[in-house]
Amino acid sequence: MIERTVTIVNRKGLHTRPAATLVKTAARYQAELTIRKDNFEINGKSIIGVMTLAAEQGSTLTLHFDGPDEEQACQAMEDLFRRGFDEE
């Protein structure tokens, strides 16, 4: 299991387009992805779950990866968050 903390850097936060990109990226891997914001935890492969986070710019999320390709999934997600979902 891998755990990473990421921060939302894009101005509009985790709205529909970046949420969909996050879910599509997570779906490419076998590893399970759980995302926690404050005390709320969701399945990172669920668009509804990701949208319920209401994560605005500056929000800190904790990502948990568990599965055979967890390292690759973690690297892809960290890159996605670092790039601001290519919105900047």
CATH code for the domain of 57 = 3.30.1340.10
* Active-site residue (options: 15, 34, 66, 78): 15
pTM over 0.85: yes
Q: What is the DSSP letter of 38?
A: T
- Confidence grade of residue 61 (pLDDT, cut at 50, 70, 90): very high
Query: What domain count does the chain have?
Result: 1
Q: For residue 87, is pLDDT > 90?
A: no
Segments forming the whole domain that contains residue 80: 2-86
Q: For residue 22, is pLDDT > 70?
A: yes
Is 15 known to be catalytic? Answer: yes
* Tokens (6 digits) for 72: 């690759």
CA 35/CA 86 separation, integer angstroms:
20
